[in-house]
């Protein structure tokens, strides 16, 4: 078995980015699509960017054009707007969106862990299953105990781990130190994050390493083009292509 997984972050309800994602999915034909946080936007209109911003419900409508299953990881901008998105999704697909919030999914033969976001408000996205006060540590231990090596394959986290060249040191988008510590300790094959839109584009650098783990940050320009990562898993090996659409 193998897996092709398309990962994007930080769409922020921008119409141009959602449309590009639909086109890219048609072209790349992944087995699954993962939106790694901030696919919604929690504070009204963006203060930057010139292109149209969708409502949460219209974001759900746009994603109906995707032929592959979609999984959602929370970013700091998913809050009560999740309810509007979820209800629109349910109305069209008659099922709840697939959330990865301290959970593991098996896609093809790849284990994919969705990390919680330490910023913003988790209450709406948790759908009545909050991870609890120590949720930045205990849930990963449980997944590792239950799934073993499958929980050390592909990690999706909205906030980048600190200490790489993929986010701005000392800034509000630097990331989270415990994610870096967890990567050092468990050495997953690959980590994909977002949150810092500009540093990867400014430096032309999308990939770094923490020990033997490959770390990728998919930065976005709010007016496009869309940046995405297509992850390939075959025979126990991971590699990723950077795509621009």
Q: 107 - beta bridge partners? A: 110
- Render pLDDT for 111-167 as a digit per residue (tens, 0 to 9): 999 999 989 888 899 887 766 545 556 889 999 999 999 999 999 999 999 999 999
pLDDT surpassing 80 at residue 1? no
Q: Where are the domains of the chain?
A: 2-244
pLDDT category at 236 given cuts 50, 70, 90 is confident
Can you tell me whether residue 63 is helix, strand or coil?
helix
Confidence (pLDDT) at 49: 65
Is the Cα torsion angle 230, 157, 195, 57 positive or negative in sign?
Answer: positive
Q: How many Å apart are CA 166 and CA 174, to the nearest integer?
A: 9
- Quick check: 42 and 81 in contact, CB under 8 A? yes
User: What DSSP line would sit under 86-107, residue for residue?
Assistant: HHHHHHHHSS--EE-SSEEEEE
Residues 6 or more apart whose Cβ sits within 8 Å of residue 29 = 4, 67, 68
- Per-residue pLDDT, averaged over 30-42, amounts to 96
pLDDT of residue 45: 61
> CB–CB of 64/25 below 8 Å?
no
Closest CA to 72 of 97, 89, 55: 97
pLDDT digits (tens, 9 = 90+) for 47-81: 566 778 999 999 999 999 898 999 999 999 999 99
Give residue-wise pLDDT tens across range 5-35: 999 999 999 999 999 999 999 999 999 999 9
Q: Which helix (H) or strand (E) holds 185?
A: helix 177-186
User: Would you tell me which CATH number, out of the four given (3.20.20.70, 3.30.460.80, 3.30.420.40, 3.60.21.10), belongs to the domain 2-244?
Assistant: 3.60.21.10
CA atoms of 219 and 202, how far apart (whole Å): 9
Q: Which helix (H) or strand (E) covers residue 143, if one does?
A: helix 138-147
Render pLDDT for 171-202 as a digit per residue (tens, 0 to 9). Answer: 999 999 999 999 999 999 999 999 999 999 99
Check residue 35 and give its pLDDT.
98
* pLDDT the model gives residue 96: 87
What pLDDT is stored for residue 133 in this prediction? 47
Q: What angle do CA 170, 173, 102 make, to 5 degrees?
A: 125
Report the range of poorest mean pLDDT among 42-51, 98-107, 173-182.
42-51
Pull the structure tokens for residue 235. 């025979």
In the prediction, which pLDDT does 235 show?
86
């Amino acid at each position: 078995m193998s897996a092709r997984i398309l990962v994007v972050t930080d769409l922020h309800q921008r119409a141009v980015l959602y449309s590009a994602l639909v086109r890219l999915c048609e072209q790349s034909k992944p087995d699954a699509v993962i939106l790694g946080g901030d696919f919604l936007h929690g504070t009204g209109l963006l203060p930057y960017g010139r292109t149209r911003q969708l409502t949460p419900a219209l974001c759900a409508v746009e994603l109906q054009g995707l032929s592959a299953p979609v999984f959602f990881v929370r970013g700091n901008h998913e809050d009560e707007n999740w309810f509007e998105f979820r209800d629109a999704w349910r109305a069209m697909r008659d099922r709840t969106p697939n959330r990865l919030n301290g959970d593991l999914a098996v896609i093809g033969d790849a284990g994919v862990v969705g990390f919680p976001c330490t910023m913003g408000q988790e209450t709406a996205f948790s759908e009545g299953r909050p991870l609890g006060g120590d949720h930045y540590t205990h849930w990963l231990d449980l997944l590792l105990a239950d799934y073993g090596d499958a929980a050390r394959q592909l990690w999706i986290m909205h906030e980048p781990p600190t200490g790489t060249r993929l986010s701005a040191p000392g800034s509000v988008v630097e990331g989270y130190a415990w994610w870096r510590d967890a990567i050092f300790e468990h050495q997953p094959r690959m980590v994909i994050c977002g949150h810092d839109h500009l540093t990867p584009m400014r430096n032309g650098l999308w990939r770094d390493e923490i020990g033997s783990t490959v770390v990728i940050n998919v930065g976005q320009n709010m007016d496009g083009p869309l940046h995405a990562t297509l992850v390939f898993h075959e025979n126990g090996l991971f590699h990723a292509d950077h795509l621009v659409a």
